[in-house]
Each structure stands twice: as C-alpha cells, then as structure tokens.
Structure 1
Amino acid sequence: MSAMKIKRGDTVKVIAGKDCNAEGKVISVDIKKHRVTVEGVNMITKHAKPSQANPNGGIIQKEAPIDISNVMLVFKGKPTRVGFKMEGDRKVRFAKATGEVID
C-alpha cells in the first residue's frame, strides 16, 4: 500500500461533492478505507439515545468521513497536488505546484 499524501492536521480543500470549495483541518485519516474526516465538512445529523456520556440524548451534528480523492492539500493558501521525493535519506512530501517541501 502506498503512503498517504494527506495527514492528520493538514488543511485541505474539498474539490467534489456537496461541500465543494469548503476548507478545513483533517481530524482523522482512515488508511484502509481511503477516507478522511474534515472539520466542519460533510456534517450529518445523528439521533442519540441517552447514555452516560450524553445523559439527555437528542440530535447531534457531527462530521462524516469523505473519500480522500475528493480533497486537495492547501499549502501556503493554494490547493496543490502532493508528491514524494528523497531528501538525503528522508522521504518527504512536496507541493507539486511550487516544488517546495511540505514537511
């Protein structure tokens, strides 16, 4: 399996779907299912029964995961594709739009 180009904490822009053009921070990445959860994007309504954690229950708004192919990394304010290259003995991500190393 190849390395994931999007990591937790990255800022991404949604490029397809109902939340197109929305930006947010990546909360979690599911490597096996190729899905990411983005803060404030793809909100769903969940009806929760009362529990110890939520004594009142009720209707909860939460983020649902979206496919990783529908998001694009935002680097220095611009959406860009991501590539990998070797820098010395380290494998690093770089922005294909500018060629700069991301991390």
Structure 2
Amino acid sequence: MNLKAKKRMAAAVPRVHFKKGDTVIVLSGEDKRKTGKVLQVLPGSGRALVEGIRMVKKHMRKTQDNPKGGIVEKEAPLPVCKLRLFDPAHKAAGKTA
C-alpha cells in the first residue's frame, strides 16, 4: 500500500477522543441522552463499546461450556461520532478538540 492510500484510509476513520473507563453520553439514536462507561474502544473501525448502551440479544448455541444455550443480552459497538465525553460534576457534555 502506497503513502496516498494510507493517508486516505486514515482520513476515513474518525478520531477517538476518549479511552476505556471514561464516561460518555449518547448524542443520537435509540439511546439518546443515556450515559455509560466505555468498556472498549475500537479505533480501526471508529466504534466503542459502552456499558448498558445499544444492548442486543445474541442467540447462543448449545456447547459443552454452555449446555443449556439460550439468549444473552450484550453491548454492541456504537459509532464514536454519536458519543461525547460526559462530565458528571457539571452534568454536561464536554467539548473535545
């Protein structure tokens, strides 16, 4: 991959202005105005996992570890453009560079 292609790919992925453990607020979508703690940041895809936000149901197959199987609720990645750092002291979303 040449230099121009690398720059083009870097420009397509949004910058992440928070890290694991930060408190964020959701700006749009089904979970608008909800806050949660960042569990994992996926900078390559521009997404983040937030505790208790964008819960999806995953159907688990029966295995030796999980002999019963069933339906499990877990967090799904959320685009970072829909998240903003949240300051619990001021109860407001902060601006980032």
Q: TM-score range by the shorter chain?
A: 0.7 to 0.9
- Tell me, in whole angstroms, the C-alpha distance in 2 between the residues paired with 1:53 and 1:13: 36
Residue number among 48, 57, 75 corresponding to 1:45 in the alignment: 57
Q: Give 4+ residue runs of structure 1 displaced > 6 Å after superposition.
A: none
Q: CA deviation at 1:20?
A: 0.5
Secondary structure at 1:82's aligned position in 2? coil
Instruction: Name 1:94's counterpart in structure 2.
Output: none
TM-score by length of 1: 0.73
* Alpha-carbon spacing, 1:8–1:53, altered in 2? closer, same or farther (3 Å): farther
1:92 corresponds in structure 2 to: none
The structure with more helix, counted as a fraction of residues = 2
CA displacement 1:39-58 (0-9 Å, x = unmatched): 00000011000223322110
Amino acid in structure 1 at the alignment position of 2:22: D
Structure with greater strand share of residues: 1
Q: Secondary structure at the match of 1:69?
A: helix
**TM-aligned CA distance change 1:30 to 1:49, over 3 Å:** same
Between 45-54 and 68-77, report the one with greater CA deviation: 45-54
Between 1:53-62 and 1:29-38, the stretch displaced more is: 53-62
Structure 2 residues without counterparts, runs of 5 or longer: 1-9
Q: Does 1:82 align with 2:76?
A: no
Gaps of 5+ in 1: 84-103
| SS in structure 1 at match of 2:81 | helix
Identity of aligned residues (%): 36
Deviates more, 1:71-80 or 1:47-56: 47-56
